[in-house]
């Protein structure tokens, strides 16, 4: 049976196998992407060799575009004396447009970006807490919803408990993952100043079914599950609500 979700990766090797195919290595930027991954892996190895075992909390913020997670993430990172990170990480952001026309490379780029970010934050977590803007949950929720949208044979999302929602065994897990849940009217108002949108962002606006499938996929995630927080409030109030969720993980 054909895999209905070929863009959802559950291991690093499965991503590397795709990127290292001759036809993909021939695409400008793919070799550089792999080199950046190797560099992040080497930096992580050097950090491990230092013997410093300290580790601060790793917090992930999820949400649809316009949920305010980028703004809230910055403010919340400052509140807990942490660092804001994101996926794709800054180290590969300049390569993002190289995969726009190739669906296979597009998903592999974002998926490897999760592993690169994981290597980077494990080094940074020795010094401060990390607040990550998007991670594997995001890649997967959008990938599942996109597959249902594109494939006539897929009438609905897989049920909760399906393997597709399971976190990869070889990917570093956050201590907590939080979804900023906002009303659609609030989301669109926050997006009103943006001038350019990707095809997927336009689909979020035009298709309630796609939007609901993305949110439902987030709700189906397990180990770690995604905690939903009301994102309709002021950013100050949201930071306080996030703090209440994250407080048990914070060290003195």
Residues shown for the chain? 252
Q: Confirm whether pTM is higher than 0.85.
A: yes
Residue 22 lies in a domain: yes
Sheet bearing 58-62, strands edge to edge? 83-86, 130-133, 58-62, 176-181, 226-230
Q: Cα separation of 71 and 88, whole Å?
A: 17
* Residue 30, H or E segment: helix 30-49
Q: How far is CA 31 from CA 90, 119, 171, in A?
A: 17, 19, 22
How far apart, in whole angstroms, are the C-alpha atoms of residue 40 and residue 131?
A: 19
Mean pLDDT of the chain: 93
* 2 found inside a domain: no
Strand partners, 133: 61, 86
Q: What does the pLDDT look like over 20-66, one tens digit per residue?
A: 999 999 999 999 999 999 999 999 999 999 877 778 999 999 999 99
Partners of 103 in beta bridges: none
Q: Is residue 118 part of a domain?
A: yes
Evaluate whether residue 78 is within a structural domain: yes
What total number of domains does the chain contain? Answer: 1
pLDDT digit string, tens, across residues 157-192: 999 999 999 999 999 999 999 999 999 999 999 888
Structure tokens at 73: 């993430």
In a domain, 243, yes or no: yes
Q: Does residue 141 lie in a domain region?
A: yes
Average pLDDT over residues 195-205: 85
Residue span of the structural domain in which 80 resides: 12-249
Domain-located, residue 181: yes
Q: What is the mean pLDDT of residues 143-154?
A: 89
Instruction: Please tell me whether residue 68 adopts helix, strand or coil conformation.
Output: coil
Q: Is residue 200 part of a domain?
A: yes
What's the rounded Cα separation, in Å, for the pair 220 and 137? Answer: 10
Q: Which of 23-32, 88-97, 193-202, 227-236 has the lowest mean pLDDT?
A: 193-202
- Which CATH number do you get for residue 88? 3.40.50.300
Name the residue among 138, 137, 88 with its Cα closest to residue 114: 88
CA distance 215 to 144: 11
Cβ burial 141-157 (10 Å sphere, 16+ → b, else e): bbbbbbbbeeeeeeeeb
């Amino acid at each position: 049976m054909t895999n209905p979700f070929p863009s959802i990766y559950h291991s690093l090797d499965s991503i590397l196998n795709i990127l290292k195919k001759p036809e993909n290595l021939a695409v400008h930027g793919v070799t550089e992407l792999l080199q950046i991954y190797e560099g992040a892996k080497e930096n992580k190895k050097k950090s491990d060799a230092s013997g410093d075992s300290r580790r601060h909390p790793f917090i992930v913020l999820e949400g649809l575009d316009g949920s305010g997670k980028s703004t809230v993430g910055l403010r919340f990172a400052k509140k807990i004396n942490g660092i804001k990170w994101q996926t794709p990480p800054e180290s590969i952001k300049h390569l993002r447009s190289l995969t726009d026309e190739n669906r296979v490379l597009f998903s592999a780029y974002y998926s490897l970006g999760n592993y690169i970010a994981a290597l980077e934050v494990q080094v940074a977590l020795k010094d401060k807490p990390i607040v990550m803007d998007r991670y594997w949950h995001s890649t997967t929720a959008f990938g599942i919803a996109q597959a249902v949208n594109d494939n006539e044979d897929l009438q609905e999302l897989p049920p909760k408990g399906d393997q597709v929602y399971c976190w990869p065994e070889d990917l570093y897990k956050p201590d907590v993952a939080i979804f900023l849940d906002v009303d659609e009217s609030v989301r669109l108002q926050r997006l009103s100043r943006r001038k350019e949108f990707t095809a997927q962002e336009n689909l979020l606006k035009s298709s309630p079914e796609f939007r609901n499938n993305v949110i439902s996929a987030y709700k189906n995630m397990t180990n770690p599950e995604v905690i939903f927080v009301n994102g309709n409030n002021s950013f100050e109030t949201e930071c306080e609500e996030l703090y209440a969720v994250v407080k048990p993980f914070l060290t003195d």
